[in-house]
Structure 1
Protein backbone atom coordinates (compact mmCIF):
# COMPACT_ATOMS: atom_id res chain seq x y z
CA UNK A 1 0.00 0.00 0.00
CA UNK A 2 1.13 3.56 -0.69
CA UNK A 3 2.73 5.58 2.06
CA UNK A 4 3.54 9.25 2.21
CA UNK A 5 6.03 10.59 4.72
CA UNK A 6 6.10 14.35 4.73
CA UNK A 7 8.36 16.37 6.94
CA UNK A 8 7.56 19.24 4.66
CA UNK A 9 4.67 21.59 5.06
CA UNK A 10 1.76 19.56 3.92
CA UNK A 11 -0.77 21.77 5.50
CA UNK A 12 -0.83 24.30 8.18
CA UNK A 13 -3.52 22.47 9.70
CA UNK A 14 -3.63 19.85 12.31
CA UNK A 15 -5.10 21.74 15.10
CA UNK A 16 -6.98 19.99 17.73
CA UNK A 17 -7.64 16.53 16.58
CA UNK A 18 -8.91 14.82 19.62
CA UNK A 19 -11.64 14.15 22.10
CA UNK A 20 -13.21 17.53 22.06
CA UNK A 21 -12.30 18.34 18.55
CA UNK A 22 -14.59 17.53 15.69
CA UNK A 23 -11.92 15.52 14.05
CA UNK A 24 -14.25 16.59 11.74
CA UNK A 25 -14.60 13.90 13.01
CA UNK A 26 -12.21 15.46 13.26
CA UNK A 27 -9.75 13.73 14.11
CA UNK A 28 -10.03 17.50 13.13
CA UNK A 29 -8.49 18.11 13.82
CA UNK A 30 -7.76 17.43 20.13
CA UNK A 31 -7.60 16.60 23.66
CA UNK A 32 -5.41 16.57 26.60
CA UNK A 33 -7.78 14.55 28.59
CA UNK A 34 -8.17 11.64 26.23
CA UNK A 35 -6.11 8.65 27.08
CA UNK A 36 -4.02 6.89 24.48
CA UNK A 37 -5.99 4.39 22.52
CA UNK A 38 -9.35 6.10 22.99
CA UNK A 39 -11.35 7.14 19.98
CA UNK A 40 -12.15 10.79 19.72
CA UNK A 41 -15.76 11.72 19.99
CA UNK A 42 -17.56 14.71 18.51
CA UNK A 43 -18.03 18.00 20.39
CA UNK A 44 -17.39 21.73 19.59
CA UNK A 45 -14.06 23.47 18.78
CA UNK A 46 -13.74 25.56 21.85
CA UNK A 47 -12.72 22.78 24.16
CA UNK A 48 -9.76 21.84 22.20
CA UNK A 49 -7.67 19.10 23.50
CA UNK A 50 -9.09 19.54 26.82
CA UNK A 51 -6.16 21.62 27.77
CA UNK A 52 -8.07 24.70 26.96
CA UNK A 53 -10.88 26.00 29.04
CA UNK A 54 -12.92 26.74 25.99
CA UNK A 55 -14.68 24.09 24.05
CA UNK A 56 -13.59 22.59 20.76
CA UNK A 57 -15.18 20.68 18.03
CA UNK A 58 -14.69 17.07 18.43
CA UNK A 59 -13.40 13.99 17.11
CA UNK A 60 -13.53 13.77 13.48
CA UNK A 61 -11.31 16.66 13.15
CA UNK A 62 -7.50 16.51 13.63
CA UNK A 63 -5.98 19.97 12.12
CA UNK A 64 -5.03 22.12 8.51
CA UNK A 65 -3.58 24.67 5.82
CA UNK A 66 -4.04 27.95 3.96
CA UNK A 67 -7.05 30.18 4.14
CA UNK A 68 -7.92 29.56 0.54
CA UNK A 69 -8.85 26.29 -1.01
CA UNK A 70 -7.56 25.36 -4.42
CA UNK A 71 -8.91 22.51 -6.51
CA UNK A 72 -7.01 19.29 -6.02
CA UNK A 73 -6.16 17.41 -9.16
CA UNK A 74 -4.68 13.95 -9.39
CA UNK A 75 -1.94 13.73 -12.01
CA UNK A 76 -2.45 11.19 -14.76
CA UNK A 77 -0.86 7.87 -13.94
CA UNK A 78 -1.14 8.43 -10.20
CA UNK A 79 -1.99 5.27 -8.28
CA UNK A 80 -5.32 4.81 -6.50
CA UNK A 81 -3.47 4.93 -3.18
CA UNK A 82 -1.82 8.23 -4.04
CA UNK A 83 -5.19 9.65 -5.06
CA UNK A 84 -6.71 8.56 -1.74
CA UNK A 85 -3.90 10.23 0.22
CA UNK A 86 -4.15 13.40 -1.87
CA UNK A 87 -7.89 13.69 -1.19
CA UNK A 88 -7.43 12.87 2.50
CA UNK A 89 -4.89 15.67 2.94
CA UNK A 90 -7.13 18.02 0.93
CA UNK A 91 -9.96 17.45 3.41
CA UNK A 92 -7.88 18.66 6.34
CA UNK A 93 -6.64 21.63 4.36
CA UNK A 94 -10.24 22.51 3.46
CA UNK A 95 -11.27 22.21 7.10
CA UNK A 96 -8.49 24.54 8.21
CA UNK A 97 -9.30 27.05 5.48
CA UNK A 98 -13.02 27.02 6.33
CA UNK A 99 -12.19 27.79 9.97
CA UNK A 100 -9.62 30.51 9.30
CA UNK A 101 -10.48 34.22 9.22
CA UNK A 102 -14.26 34.19 9.60
CA UNK A 103 -15.36 30.52 9.75
CA UNK A 104 -17.64 29.53 6.87
CA UNK A 105 -19.75 26.40 7.45
CA UNK A 106 -21.07 26.77 3.88
CA UNK A 107 -17.63 26.53 2.29
CA UNK A 108 -18.15 24.24 -0.75
CA UNK A 109 -14.74 22.65 -0.20
CA UNK A 110 -16.09 20.89 2.89
CA UNK A 111 -18.65 19.10 0.74
CA UNK A 112 -16.04 18.38 -1.91
CA UNK A 113 -13.77 16.42 0.41
CA UNK A 114 -16.09 15.06 3.13
CA UNK A 115 -19.27 13.03 3.21
CA UNK A 116 -21.63 11.45 5.73
CA UNK A 117 -20.65 11.68 9.39
CA UNK A 118 -17.46 13.61 8.73
CA UNK A 119 -19.27 16.23 6.69
CA UNK A 120 -21.90 16.69 9.39
CA UNK A 121 -19.20 17.01 12.04
CA UNK A 122 -17.04 19.53 10.21
CA UNK A 123 -20.03 21.72 9.34
CA UNK A 124 -21.14 21.66 12.99
CA UNK A 125 -17.60 22.43 14.15
CA UNK A 126 -17.23 25.34 11.74
CA UNK A 127 -20.62 26.76 12.68
CA UNK A 128 -19.74 26.50 16.40
CA UNK A 129 -16.47 28.36 15.79
CA UNK A 130 -18.35 31.07 13.87
CA UNK A 131 -20.90 31.50 16.66
CA UNK A 132 -18.32 31.38 19.47
CA UNK A 133 -16.00 33.92 17.86
CA UNK A 134 -13.14 31.46 17.29
CA UNK A 135 -10.86 30.79 14.33
CA UNK A 136 -7.82 28.72 13.37
CA UNK A 137 -4.39 30.15 12.72
CA UNK A 138 -1.21 28.33 11.65
CA UNK A 139 1.64 27.98 14.13
CA UNK A 140 4.47 30.48 13.72
CA UNK A 141 6.99 27.62 13.63
CA UNK A 142 5.17 24.45 12.56
CA UNK A 143 6.77 21.05 13.13
CA UNK A 144 5.63 19.80 9.72
CA UNK A 145 5.48 16.12 10.66
CA UNK A 146 2.83 14.07 8.90
CA UNK A 147 2.95 10.46 7.74
CA UNK A 148 0.05 8.88 5.91
CA UNK A 149 -0.35 5.41 4.48
CA UNK A 150 -3.21 3.56 2.83
CA UNK A 151 -3.86 0.39 4.84
CA UNK A 152 -6.81 -1.01 2.92
CA UNK A 153 -8.68 -0.55 -0.35
CA UNK A 154 -11.84 -2.52 -1.06
CA UNK A 155 -13.86 -1.29 -4.01
CA UNK A 156 -15.27 2.13 -3.16
CA UNK A 157 -14.00 2.00 0.43
CA UNK A 158 -10.49 2.65 1.74
CA UNK A 159 -8.75 3.20 5.06
CA UNK A 160 -5.71 5.34 5.83
CA UNK A 161 -3.51 5.58 8.90
CA UNK A 162 -1.99 8.93 9.77
CA UNK A 163 0.58 10.11 12.28
CA UNK A 164 0.56 13.89 12.54
CA UNK A 165 1.85 16.56 14.88
CA UNK A 166 -1.03 18.96 15.51
CA UNK A 167 0.36 22.42 16.14
CA UNK A 168 -2.23 24.83 14.77
CA UNK A 169 -3.54 27.65 16.98
CA UNK A 170 -7.10 28.53 17.98
CA UNK A 171 -7.77 32.23 18.59
CA UNK A 172 -10.61 34.58 19.48
CA UNK A 173 -11.35 36.54 16.32
CA UNK A 174 -12.25 39.78 18.06
CA UNK A 175 -9.05 40.11 20.08
CA UNK A 176 -6.54 37.68 18.62
CA UNK A 177 -6.25 36.06 22.06
CA UNK A 178 -4.84 32.54 21.86
CA UNK A 179 -7.36 30.02 23.17
CA UNK A 180 -5.26 26.94 22.47
CA UNK A 181 -1.78 26.48 21.09
CA UNK A 182 -0.97 23.05 22.50
CA UNK A 183 1.21 20.74 20.43
CA UNK A 184 0.05 17.13 20.33
CA UNK A 185 0.82 14.06 18.26
CA UNK A 186 -2.11 12.07 16.87
CA UNK A 187 -2.42 8.57 15.49
CA UNK A 188 -5.56 8.63 13.35
CA UNK A 189 -7.54 6.22 11.20
CA UNK A 190 -9.48 7.74 8.33
CA UNK A 191 -12.18 5.92 6.38
CA UNK A 192 -12.59 7.10 2.81
CA UNK A 193 -15.45 6.35 0.43
CA UNK A 194 -15.67 6.99 -3.29
CA UNK A 195 -18.72 9.13 -4.09
CA UNK A 196 -19.51 10.31 -7.61
CA UNK A 197 -16.13 9.07 -8.76
CA UNK A 198 -14.01 10.88 -6.16
CA UNK A 199 -12.70 9.90 -2.72
CA UNK A 200 -14.15 11.69 0.30
CA UNK A 201 -13.47 11.34 4.02
CA UNK A 202 -16.41 9.61 5.68
CA UNK A 203 -15.08 9.29 9.22
CA UNK A 204 -11.92 9.84 11.24
CA UNK A 205 -11.05 8.19 14.51
CA UNK A 206 -8.38 9.27 16.97
CA UNK A 207 -6.59 6.08 17.99
CA UNK A 208 -3.88 7.55 20.21
CA UNK A 209 -2.69 10.95 21.34
CA UNK A 210 0.52 12.16 22.97
CA UNK A 211 1.50 15.55 24.36
CA UNK A 212 4.17 17.30 22.33
CA UNK A 213 6.12 15.64 19.53
CA UNK A 214 6.05 12.04 20.70
CA UNK A 215 4.72 8.55 20.05
CA UNK A 216 4.40 7.71 16.36
CA UNK A 217 6.13 10.99 15.40
CA UNK A 218 9.37 9.58 16.80
CA UNK A 219 9.15 6.33 14.84
CA UNK A 220 11.72 6.05 12.09
Structure 2
Protein backbone atom coordinates (compact mmCIF):
# COMPACT_ATOMS: atom_id res chain seq x y z
CA UNK A 1 0.00 0.00 0.00
CA UNK A 2 3.00 2.31 0.12
CA UNK A 3 2.27 3.72 -3.34
CA UNK A 4 -1.42 4.32 -2.61
CA UNK A 5 -2.58 7.33 -0.57
CA UNK A 6 -6.06 5.82 -0.54
CA UNK A 7 -5.55 3.79 2.64
CA UNK A 8 -8.46 4.21 5.06
CA UNK A 9 -7.17 3.38 8.53
CA UNK A 10 -9.07 3.49 11.83
CA UNK A 11 -7.60 3.64 15.34
CA UNK A 12 -9.75 2.15 18.09
CA UNK A 13 -9.37 1.72 21.84
CA UNK A 14 -10.97 2.46 25.19
CA UNK A 15 -11.35 6.10 26.25
CA UNK A 16 -7.97 7.43 27.35
CA UNK A 17 -5.94 4.87 25.38
CA UNK A 18 -4.24 7.56 23.27
CA UNK A 19 -6.20 7.36 20.00
CA UNK A 20 -6.02 11.08 19.24
CA UNK A 21 -2.28 11.30 19.82
CA UNK A 22 -1.64 8.25 17.62
CA UNK A 23 -3.88 9.57 14.85
CA UNK A 24 -2.30 13.02 14.97
CA UNK A 25 1.22 11.61 14.79
CA UNK A 26 0.31 9.16 12.02
CA UNK A 27 -1.33 11.91 10.00
CA UNK A 28 1.70 14.18 10.32
CA UNK A 29 4.22 11.41 9.63
CA UNK A 30 2.47 9.84 6.63
CA UNK A 31 0.39 12.62 5.08
CA UNK A 32 -2.92 10.83 5.61
CA UNK A 33 -5.83 13.12 6.42
CA UNK A 34 -7.09 13.09 10.01
CA UNK A 35 -10.76 12.13 10.41
CA UNK A 36 -12.30 13.09 13.72
CA UNK A 37 -15.47 14.61 15.16
CA UNK A 38 -16.35 17.19 17.77
CA UNK A 39 -17.31 15.52 21.05
CA UNK A 40 -19.74 18.37 21.67
CA UNK A 41 -21.56 17.76 18.39
CA UNK A 42 -21.82 14.05 19.15
CA UNK A 43 -23.39 14.61 22.57
CA UNK A 44 -27.17 14.56 23.01
CA UNK A 45 -28.73 18.01 22.75
CA UNK A 46 -30.79 17.46 25.90
CA UNK A 47 -30.94 15.17 28.91
CA UNK A 48 -33.61 12.98 27.38
CA UNK A 49 -34.41 9.48 28.58
CA UNK A 50 -31.66 7.03 27.47
CA UNK A 51 -29.91 9.89 25.64
CA UNK A 52 -26.44 8.48 26.33
CA UNK A 53 -27.24 5.07 24.83
CA UNK A 54 -29.72 5.92 22.07
CA UNK A 55 -29.26 9.53 20.95
CA UNK A 56 -25.46 9.80 21.41
CA UNK A 57 -24.41 6.77 19.31
CA UNK A 58 -26.62 7.85 16.41
CA UNK A 59 -25.34 11.45 16.49
CA UNK A 60 -21.76 10.20 16.67
CA UNK A 61 -22.30 7.79 13.78
CA UNK A 62 -23.78 10.52 11.59
CA UNK A 63 -20.90 12.86 12.38
CA UNK A 64 -18.27 10.23 11.59
CA UNK A 65 -19.85 9.16 8.30
CA UNK A 66 -19.99 12.79 7.19
CA UNK A 67 -16.45 13.58 8.39
CA UNK A 68 -14.88 10.56 6.67
CA UNK A 69 -16.86 11.02 3.46
CA UNK A 70 -15.55 14.58 3.13
CA UNK A 71 -11.94 13.34 3.20
CA UNK A 72 -12.31 11.11 0.16
CA UNK A 73 -10.34 7.89 -0.13
CA UNK A 74 -7.44 8.25 2.31
CA UNK A 75 -7.50 9.07 6.02
CA UNK A 76 -6.80 7.88 9.56
CA UNK A 77 -9.93 7.84 11.71
CA UNK A 78 -9.83 8.71 15.41
CA UNK A 79 -12.11 6.05 16.92
CA UNK A 80 -14.00 4.94 13.78
CA UNK A 81 -17.77 4.53 13.38
CA UNK A 82 -17.60 1.84 16.08
CA UNK A 83 -16.63 4.18 18.90
CA UNK A 84 -19.87 5.83 20.03
CA UNK A 85 -21.81 2.58 19.69
CA UNK A 86 -19.20 0.71 21.77
CA UNK A 87 -19.34 3.37 24.50
CA UNK A 88 -23.15 3.20 24.59
CA UNK A 89 -23.25 -0.60 24.68
CA UNK A 90 -20.68 -0.65 27.49
CA UNK A 91 -22.69 1.89 29.45
CA UNK A 92 -25.77 -0.30 29.07
CA UNK A 93 -24.07 -3.57 29.96
CA UNK A 94 -22.20 -2.28 33.02
CA UNK A 95 -25.10 -0.52 34.73
CA UNK A 96 -25.77 -1.52 38.32
CA UNK A 97 -29.10 -1.93 40.07
CA UNK A 98 -28.56 1.44 41.68
CA UNK A 99 -28.99 3.17 38.32
CA UNK A 100 -32.46 1.76 37.86
CA UNK A 101 -33.39 2.55 41.45
CA UNK A 102 -32.41 6.19 40.89
CA UNK A 103 -34.19 6.33 37.53
CA UNK A 104 -37.21 4.00 37.78
CA UNK A 105 -38.85 5.89 34.93
CA UNK A 106 -36.28 4.30 32.59
CA UNK A 107 -37.15 0.70 33.49
CA UNK A 108 -39.87 0.24 30.82
CA UNK A 109 -37.32 1.19 28.16
CA UNK A 110 -34.63 -1.37 29.02
CA UNK A 111 -35.72 -3.86 26.36
CA UNK A 112 -35.98 -1.13 23.72
CA UNK A 113 -32.50 0.13 24.62
CA UNK A 114 -30.98 -3.33 24.25
CA UNK A 115 -32.72 -4.05 20.95
CA UNK A 116 -31.81 -0.63 19.62
CA UNK A 117 -28.13 -1.14 20.32
CA UNK A 118 -28.19 -4.62 18.75
CA UNK A 119 -29.68 -3.11 15.58
CA UNK A 120 -27.23 -0.20 15.67
CA UNK A 121 -24.34 -2.65 16.04
CA UNK A 122 -25.33 -4.27 12.75
CA UNK A 123 -25.26 -0.88 11.04
CA UNK A 124 -21.87 0.23 12.35
CA UNK A 125 -20.23 -3.15 11.68
CA UNK A 126 -21.46 -3.15 8.08
CA UNK A 127 -20.21 0.40 7.66
CA UNK A 128 -16.82 -0.52 9.13
CA UNK A 129 -16.45 -3.46 6.74
CA UNK A 130 -17.02 -1.28 3.70
CA UNK A 131 -15.17 1.83 4.89
CA UNK A 132 -11.84 0.79 6.43
CA UNK A 133 -8.88 -1.05 4.96
CA UNK A 134 -7.36 -1.74 8.36
CA UNK A 135 -7.68 -1.13 12.10
CA UNK A 136 -5.16 -0.34 14.79
CA UNK A 137 -6.43 -1.19 18.27
CA UNK A 138 -4.66 0.38 21.23
CA UNK A 139 -4.45 -1.92 24.22
CA UNK A 140 -5.99 -0.74 27.47
CA UNK A 141 -3.22 -0.90 30.07
CA UNK A 142 -5.54 -0.05 32.94
CA UNK A 143 -3.07 2.42 34.47
CA UNK A 144 -5.12 5.46 33.54
CA UNK A 145 -8.11 4.24 35.51
CA UNK A 146 -8.27 5.66 39.01
CA UNK A 147 -11.45 3.94 40.21
CA UNK A 148 -12.79 0.41 40.04
CA UNK A 149 -15.81 1.46 37.99
CA UNK A 150 -13.61 3.24 35.43
CA UNK A 151 -11.28 0.26 35.24
CA UNK A 152 -14.21 -2.08 34.61
CA UNK A 153 -15.59 0.22 31.92
CA UNK A 154 -12.26 0.32 30.09
CA UNK A 155 -11.88 -3.46 30.31
CA UNK A 156 -15.39 -4.13 28.98
CA UNK A 157 -15.16 -1.67 26.08
CA UNK A 158 -11.70 -2.97 25.19
CA UNK A 159 -13.03 -6.54 24.92
CA UNK A 160 -16.15 -5.43 23.05
CA UNK A 161 -14.09 -3.56 20.46
CA UNK A 162 -11.68 -6.47 19.96
CA UNK A 163 -14.55 -8.93 19.49
CA UNK A 164 -16.18 -6.55 17.01
CA UNK A 165 -12.96 -6.02 15.06
CA UNK A 166 -12.67 -9.78 14.68
CA UNK A 167 -16.26 -9.89 13.43
CA UNK A 168 -15.60 -7.29 10.72
CA UNK A 169 -12.93 -9.49 9.06
CA UNK A 170 -10.96 -6.30 8.33
CA UNK A 171 -7.20 -6.70 9.07
CA UNK A 172 -6.25 -5.25 12.44
CA UNK A 173 -3.19 -4.73 14.59
CA UNK A 174 -3.34 -4.74 18.40
CA UNK A 175 -0.54 -2.64 19.82
CA UNK A 176 0.61 -0.49 22.71
CA UNK A 177 3.68 1.08 24.26
CA UNK A 178 5.44 4.40 23.61
CA UNK A 179 3.83 6.61 20.96
CA UNK A 180 6.87 6.64 18.67
CA UNK A 181 7.00 2.84 18.67
CA UNK A 182 3.31 2.58 17.84
CA UNK A 183 3.55 5.02 14.93
CA UNK A 184 6.66 3.31 13.56
CA UNK A 185 5.04 -0.13 13.86
CA UNK A 186 1.81 0.95 12.16
CA UNK A 187 3.57 2.80 9.34
CA UNK A 188 5.73 -0.26 8.71
CA UNK A 189 2.87 -2.76 8.81
CA UNK A 190 0.79 -0.81 6.29
CA UNK A 191 3.85 0.31 4.29
CA UNK A 192 2.88 3.97 4.58
CA UNK A 193 5.00 6.76 3.09
CA UNK A 194 7.00 9.00 5.41
CA UNK A 195 6.38 12.70 4.92
CA UNK A 196 8.28 13.88 7.99
CA UNK A 197 10.39 11.93 10.51
CA UNK A 198 8.32 9.95 13.02
CA UNK A 199 10.11 11.61 15.94
CA UNK A 200 9.12 15.07 14.69
CA UNK A 201 5.52 13.94 14.13
CA UNK A 202 5.30 12.45 17.62
CA UNK A 203 6.73 15.58 19.26
CA UNK A 204 4.22 17.74 17.39
CA UNK A 205 1.37 15.44 18.39
CA UNK A 206 2.40 15.56 22.05
CA UNK A 207 2.60 19.37 21.96
CA UNK A 208 -0.90 19.50 20.48
CA UNK A 209 -2.37 17.16 23.11
Give the structure-1-normalised TM-score.
0.25
Give the number of the structure with larger relative contact order, counting CA–CA contacts within 8 Å between residues 6 or more apart. Answer: 2
Q: Which has the larger radius of gyration?
A: 2
Instruction: Point out the structure with the larger strand share.
Output: 1
Instruction: Point out the structure with the larger helix share.
Output: 2
Give the structure-2-normalised TM-score.
0.26
